[in-house]
Amino acid sequence: MGMCGDSGLAGATGVLGGTFNPVHVGHVRMAIEALEGLGLARVLFLPTFAPPHKSAQAILPYRLRVAMLHAACAGVSGLGVSQVERTLATPSFTVRTVAALRRQDPRHGWVLLMGGADFLALPTWHQGLTLPHLVDMGVVERPGSSWAEVDFFARVVLGLARTAWGWQRKRRIVYLQPPGLAITSTLVRQRFVEGRCLRGLVPEGSLALLETHRTFVHRLWHKEEV
């Protein structure tokens, strides 16, 4: 599995949401793989404004996370950043964000991108099980999930029919298997606090912003680690 074939998503806009605390090269690669693999017009990083399940104490300020995302996208054709959650009610719920994007441009195609582990966790999200019926989705294989688990969830839990490129009922779900990049934001934060080199883990422009705010960021993330 992993060959997308003609999934009918070409020309749509992919949306990759997350806290991005901080953005790392795995995020950027995931966006590029979806962009190319699905033939998308663009992929927008959508940083969560007010994460509902995470303590705000150890999360970088929204403006800094946005600036780091812009830096990560610099020079990469087809990638951009959306701040739509800044205008929505809090806490930030994905189902609310998707509805806002569809209102923004109802005739445009939207594809919600997420890692396999997040897809499997949809039952724990606010109205998470409605998402596969509201918007097309691209599920990207990441550490912590497998094709077999995602297939079982899509067919048995969601009741979708398997196709040549993924699963379908009213909406389509496509499965992507990019080259493995077992990098997480947690790993980046731990290494930053330990004073280790982050080159190759965080895009250069984003890393420069982290270094500029090193004292503040270290104090914030150190609270999480102790």
Return phi, psi of residue 147, to 5°. -60, -40
Residue linked to tokens 């980046």: 188
| Closest among 166, 168, 122 to 147, alpha carbons compared | 166
For the chain, state the CA radius of gyration: 17
Write down the pLDDT at residue 154. 96
- Average confidence (pLDDT) over 74-98: 92
| pLDDT tens-place string over residues 97-125 | 999 998 888 788 999 999 999 999 999 99
Instruction: For the chain, give the mean pLDDT.
Output: 91
Q: Would you state the structure tokens that stand for residue 205, as one six-digit string? A: 């422009």
| pLDDT tens-place string over residues 197-207 | 999 999 999 99
Write down the pLDDT at residue 223. 80
Strand order in the sheet with 161-162: 79-81, 42-47, 13-18, 110-115, 136-140, 172-176, 166-168, 161-162
Burial string for 135-166 (b: 16+ CB within 10 Å, else e) reads bbbbbbbbeebeeeebbebbeeebebeeeebb
Return phi, psi of residue 139, to 5°. -100, 120
Distance CA 20, CA 161 (A): 32
Q: Which residues pair with 113 in a beta bridge?
A: 16, 138
Distance CA 25, CA 161 (A): 33
Distance CA 134, CA 151 (A): 19
Rounded to 5 degrees, what angle do the CA atoms 121, 123, 128 make?
95
Is the CB of residue 79 less than 8 Å from the CB of residue 36? no
Q: DSSP class of residue 157?
A: I
> CATH assignment of 13-225?
3.40.50.620
pLDDT at residue 5 above 60?
no
- Average confidence (pLDDT) over 162-186: 88
Residue linked to tokens 């298997």: 177
Residue 144: pLDDT band with limits 50, 70, 90: confident
- pTM of the full structure: 0.89
Write down the pLDDT at residue 91. 86
Write down the pLDDT at residue 1. 46
Q: Would you state the structure tokens that stand for residue 106, as one six-digit string? A: 């109802």
| pLDDT tens-place string over residues 183-199 | 889 999 999 999 999 99
Rounded to 5 degrees, what angle do the CA atoms 149, 128, 114 make?
55
Write down the pLDDT at residue 3. 45
The percentage of residues in the chain with a pLDDT greater than 90, rounded to a whole number, is 76
| pLDDT tens-place string over residues 38-83 | 999 999 999 999 887 766 678 999 999 999 999 999 999 999 999 9
Is the CB of residue 2 less than 8 Å from the CB of residue 175? yes
